[in-house]
Structure formats: structure tokens, C-alpha cells
């Protein structure tokens, strides 16, 4: 969120609303389409005044899912293995002072937390400590700290390389490189100031269509009034590849690659307020990183301000402030088509432009649970907090359908997937970061052998026929 002065008053609510299906366009008081409410926890239950960012962690030992929720005064941790009765395990207090802006990401079973609070740096927290919390909620202490910068707006992590990138800090606000391969002993390795201030970014080891950059570590920064593409493979000598601009620029905020790395879906946070647009996302063609182009613009059905958005498979999950979470089908993005297929609205007082409502979404849990974290900005009647929602097609409290089976599970080579009554048409396999690692199509078979030999050991999500979710453990 772009920094603005904030004055907040809100009603104190302590009730917890849980397990509410979306029926006739409502889940309780919340407008919805295709997504059920698992649970809502108001901000007061975390002894905080506001929420901001959110992320998730899945324990690789047993698959337990945990929600990480940024607060104005710290970071909350919840065990959501029982999604309608989650356990608030405790809070890691801010390293210095409170701030509306806090951001958290995960690498190698550690949480990395930054904030715009002065002198904050990076807090590093061992998430495996959440396995054995005796008296929740506890007040946690950080396991390590990186003080190479003070306040930062955001942190970006490339899990493939073990590097974190603090943005909105020093280096003119550009990325500050931190080697976190040994999470408890982070090492600063310089930074890049050539493109100015970055508000948010995504960093990938590039395996997309532009062969000139294959295998390089590529940084995509949303830099207030343009998008920058930088080769950060050599931390001592980062190289600008290109910048790309667009019309009606207000504040280039955040974006995410499609999984094939052909397109980058970007949100301008303030264009709705400045120009009176309905929700607008700008889609860039990144098939040639040296010459990126504007592909088209997507316009949503409301005038709400867009915030953070993430891609999982052929869906784009958008935190849309007063319009809540919007889910958009991007399967035909190559032809300039994006279509909203569902939503869960956390702000019941209208869908106008502004900063109350959904700040972030996290759609990458293999169970199908989705985190929505929300804030109050200007409406004193709104109570922000933590929402957990799930697609109505998956069902509350269920992440599979019994007429599909697979064995052996765990497996090291081949998994037999069987459907005695329903024909198998597609199987997509995702890792715990939401990255598509296998995508197979079938001619309506009842049984098939799925080769998983090339997958790394860990937990994966099998998505069968685009709606049935099952967990696979690869030995």
C-alpha cells in the first residue's frame, strides 16, 4: 500500500464467525460467489489495531498448514489444520515500533519479516517452533536479525537461490540483496539502485520463452510509475534489461508472472482513485524481456482499488480492498481474455475506491484454504482481521472427493490415479509455492499412471479435472 497518513477508529468486536457456506450470494453478511467462509478472527483478538500482509507455511514433516499474518505491532501465527477452529499460537512483536506496513515471506522453514518501522531490519523466526506451543497464544522472540537496513516496505524471496530482497529501504529504494541460504546467518551482498524505488517485486530463476535469459535470476520490480526488469544473477554486477511503461500511470504497485512466464499481471494502486476507473490490471507481454510490451488491460466489475495479486495455475487471486478477494480465470490470457469466476467480499459497505478491506491473499495451500488479511483505513464501522475461505466446490472441511484414489502415497516413482465412476481428463500437480510442476491431459480415462520420479522430495497438490484436490507425498 502506498504510504499515506492514517487516522483510524474502529469498533471492538471479539466474536468469531466460522463455517458459513456461500448461499444465494452471501456467506452470513459477506457477499460471495463460489467461496465459503471458514473462519473470521477480528483484529482485536490479536491485541492489535490493524492487519496488513499475510503468507503461509506448510510443515514438510506432517503437512500441517500455518497462517502468518502481519499486524501493525507484530506478526501473528495460526495453526489452521482445523480451518473452522484455528489455533492462534502467538505473536512475534515488532523489532522496534508499530507500523501499518509490515511484510512477511517464508524460506526453508523460516519466516522473514520487514516493516517500515525505523530500525526494524529483518526479523527471522524458526517456524518449526510452532509445532510445540504449550500455552497459546505465546509471545515469541526472533531467532536471528539482519540489520543491514532499517525500515523496508517489502521483502521478496527467491526460494530457488536462497536470496532475499529488501525493497523500499536503501539503494534508492531498490533491492537490497541478502544471502539467506543459512537463515540464521544472513549476509548482505550489496544492492541495485539503478531503477530507483521498488514498491514490490517478484524474483525468479528464469525458464520462460526468452532463451537469451535462460537460467538467469530475473528481478521484476513495480517501481511507482513503471516496471523494471533486472538481471540480478551476479549480485556484484546487476544489469538492467529493460523498463516498460503504460498510460494513465498513478502508482505502479505490484505484479505477478503467469506460470509460463509469458505474461506479467500488474496492479496500479491509485488509478481508480485518480482517474475514476473501475478496477484495472495491466497485462504485459514478457516473452521478450529486452522488449516487453503492453498486451491489454483487464477491467473488473467494481470501482474498488486493487492491491496484491498472485497467480496459481490458471487463476489470478486479487486482493481488491473494498471488493474483497476476486478470482479471475486467466486460461485465455494469450487472447486478451480474463474473466472473473468468483469472489469473497470482506467489506460489506460497498465497493468504491479506497483502502479499507482486503490487503493480501495467500492462495497456495494444498488444502485449498485461502488467507485474506484485511485492514481498516478510513471507515470507522469496519472491523479488519483474518479470514480463511475456501472454494465451495471443494467443500468446507474437505479437500478431496472420495471417488478418486491414488496409490502408493507416499511414492518415489509412479502413482496410479483411479476414478471408478468419473473420467479423468486433466491432472495438474503443484508444489507448495503454487508452482505448476506437472500438467497432463487425458482422453477421459478411468485409470492412469502418473510419473513423479523427477519431482523433488516433499508435499504436492494434485488437482484432478480442475476441482478435486488431493495431497501427494514424494519420497
Q: Mean per-residue pLDDT for 358-379?
A: 95
Q: Mean per-residue pLDDT for 5-27?
A: 58
Min mean pLDDT across 158-162, 212-216, 340-344, 457-461 is at 457-461
Element (H, E) at 272: helix 271-275
Q: What integer pLDDT is reported at residue 233 of this predicted model?
A: 98
Q: Mean per-residue pLDDT for 14-39?
A: 83
Q: Mean per-residue pLDDT for 288-308?
A: 98
Q: What integer pLDDT is reported at residue 467 of this predicted model?
A: 62
Q: What integer pLDDT is reported at residue 395 of this predicted model?
A: 47
Sign of CA dihedral 234, 228, 435, 182: positive
Comparing 24 with 461, which gets the higher pLDDT?
A: 24
Chain region(s) in the chain for CATH 2.60.40.1930: 405-474
Chain region(s) in the chain for CATH 2.130.10.10: 17-391
Q: Which fold has domain 17-391?
A: Methylamine Dehydrogenase; Chain H (2.130.10)
Q: What integer pLDDT is reported at residue 6 of this predicted model?
A: 35
Residues contacting 189, CB < 8 A, separation 6+: 163, 177, 178, 179, 235, 236
Burial label, 281 (beta-carbon count in 10 A; 0-12, 13-18, 19+): buried
- CA–CA gap between residue 220 and residue 199 (Å, rounded): 11
Q: Mean per-residue pLDDT for 389-398?
A: 67
Min mean pLDDT across 4-18, 106-120, 279-293, 309-323 is at 4-18
Residues 326 and 368: beta-carbon distance below 8 Å: no
Task: Report the 10 Å Cβ neighbour count for 4.
Answer: 10
Q: What integer pLDDT is reported at residue 445 of this predicted model?
A: 81
Q: What integer pLDDT is reported at residue 70 of this predicted model?
A: 98
Q: Whole-model pTM?
A: 0.82
- Alpha-carbon separation of residue 276 from 322, 326, 352 (angstroms): 15, 19, 10
Q: What integer pLDDT is reported at residue 420 of this predicted model?
A: 59
pLDDT classification of 107: cutoffs 50, 70, 90 = very high
Q: Which residues pair with 460 in a beta bridge?
A: 472
Min mean pLDDT across 47-51, 201-205, 285-289, 401-405 is at 401-405
In 3-state terms the chain splits into helix, strand, coil percentages (rounded to 5) of 5, 45, 50
Min mean pLDDT across 162-166, 230-234, 364-368, 391-395 is at 391-395
Tens of pLDDT, residues 49-91:
999 999 999 999 889 999 999 999 999 999 999 999 999 999 9
Q: What integer pLDDT is reported at residue 423 of this predicted model?
A: 77
Q: Does the pLDDT value for residue 33 go beyond 70?
A: yes
- Chosen CATH of 405-474 out of 2.60.40.1930, 3.40.50.2000, 3.40.50.10490, 1.10.10.60: 2.60.40.1930
Min mean pLDDT across 33-47, 178-192, 446-460 is at 446-460
Q: Phi/psi at 16 (nearest 5 deg)?
A: -120, 115
Q: What integer pLDDT is reported at residue 5 of this predicted model?
A: 34
Residues 281 and 309: beta-carbon distance below 8 Å: yes
Q: Mean per-residue pLDDT for 108-135?
A: 98
Q: Mean per-residue pLDDT for 258-282?
A: 97
Q: Mean per-residue pLDDT for 380-409?
A: 74
Q: Mean per-residue pLDDT for 436-459?
A: 88
Task: Report the 10 Å Cβ neighbour count for 425.
Answer: 15
Residues contacting 398, CB < 8 A, separation 6+: none
Q: Does the pLDDT value for residue 429 go beyond 70?
A: yes
- CA–CA gap between residue 334 and residue 345 (Å, rounded): 28
- CA–CA gap between residue 388 and residue 17 (Å, rounded): 11
Amino acid at each position: 500500500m502506498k504510504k499515506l497518513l492514517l487516522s483510524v477508529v474502529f469498533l471492538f468486536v471479539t466474536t468469531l464467525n466460522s463455517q458459513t457456506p456461500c448461499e444465494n450470494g452471501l456467506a452470513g453478511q459477506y457477499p460471495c460467489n463460489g467461496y465459503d467462509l471458514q473462519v473470521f478472527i477480528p483484529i482485536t483478538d490479536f491485541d492489535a489495531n490493524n492487519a496488513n500482509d499475510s503468507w503461509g507455511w506448510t510443515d514438510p514433516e506432517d503437512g500441517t498448514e500455518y497462517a502468518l499474518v502481519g499486524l501493525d505491532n507484530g506478526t501473528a501465527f495460526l495453526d489452521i489444520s482445523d480451518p473452522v477452529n484455528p489455533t492462534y499460537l502467538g505473536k512475534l512483536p515488532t523489532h522496534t515500533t508499530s507500523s501499518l506496513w509490515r511484510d512477511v515471506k517464508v524460506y526453508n522453514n523460516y519466516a522473514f519479516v520487514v516493516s517500515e518501522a525505523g530500525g526494524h531490519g529483518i526479523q527471522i523466526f524458526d517456524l518449526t517452533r510452532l509445532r510445540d506451543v504449550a500455552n497459546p497464544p505465546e509471545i515469541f522472540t526472533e531467532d536471528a536479525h539482519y540489520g543491514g537496513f532499517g525500515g523496508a516496505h517489502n521483502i521478496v524471496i527467491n526460494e530457488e537461490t536462497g536470496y532475499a530482497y529488501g525493497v523500499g529501504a536503501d539503494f534508492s529504494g531498490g533491492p537490497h540483496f541478502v544471502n539467506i541460504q543459512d537463515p540464521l546467518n544472513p549476509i548482505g551482498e550489496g544492492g541495485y539502485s539503478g531503477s530507483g524505488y521498488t514498491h514490490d517485486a517478484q524474483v525468479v530463476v528464469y525458464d520462460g520463452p526468452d532463451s537469451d535469459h535462460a537460467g538467469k535470476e530475473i528481478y521484476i520490480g513495480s517501481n511507482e510509475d513503471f516496471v523494471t526488469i533486472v538481471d540480478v544473477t551476479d549480485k556484484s554486477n546487476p544489469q538492467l534489461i529493460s523498463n516498460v511503461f503504460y498510460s494513465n500511470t498513478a502508482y505502479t504497485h505490484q505484479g505477478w508472472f503467469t506460470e509460463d512466464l509469458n505474461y506479467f499481471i500488474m496492479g496500479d494502486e491509485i488509478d481508480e482513485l485518480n482517474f475514476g476507473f473501475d478496477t484495472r490490471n495491466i497485462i504485459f507481454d514478457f516473452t521478450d524481456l529486452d522488449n516487453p510490451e503492453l498486451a491489454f488491460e483487464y477491467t473488473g466489475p467494481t470501482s474498488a482499488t486493487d492491491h496484491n495479486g498472485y497467480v496459481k495455475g490458471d487463476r489470478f487471486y486479487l486482493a481488491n480492498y473494498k471488493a474483497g478477494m476476486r478470482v479471475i480465470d486467466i486460461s485465455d490470457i494469450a487472447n486478451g481474455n480474463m474473466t472473473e469466476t468468483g469472489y469473497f467480499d470482506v467489506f460489506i459497505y460497498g465497493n468504491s475506491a479506497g483502502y479499507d478491506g482486503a490487503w493480501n491473499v495467500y492462495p497456495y495451500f494444498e488444502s485449498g484454504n485461502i488467507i485474506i488479511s484485511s485492514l481498516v483505513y478510513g471507515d470507522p464501522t469496519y472491523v479488519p482481521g483474518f479470514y480463511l475461505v475456501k472454494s465451495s466446490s471443494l467443500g468446507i472441511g474437505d479437500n478431496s472427493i472420495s471417488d478418486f484414489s491414488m496409490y502408493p502415497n507416499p511414492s518415489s516413482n509412479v502413482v496410479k490415479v483411479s476414478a471408478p465412476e468419473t473420467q479423468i481428463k486433466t491432472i495438474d500437480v503443484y508444489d507448495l509455492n503454487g508452482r505448476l510442476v506437472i500438467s497432463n491431459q487425458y482422453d477421459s480415462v478411468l485409470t492412469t499412471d502418473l510419473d513423479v520420479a523427477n519431482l523433488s522430495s516433499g508435499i504436492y497438490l494434485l488437482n484432478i479435472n480442475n476441482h478435486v484436490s488431493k495431497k501427494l507425498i514424494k519420497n
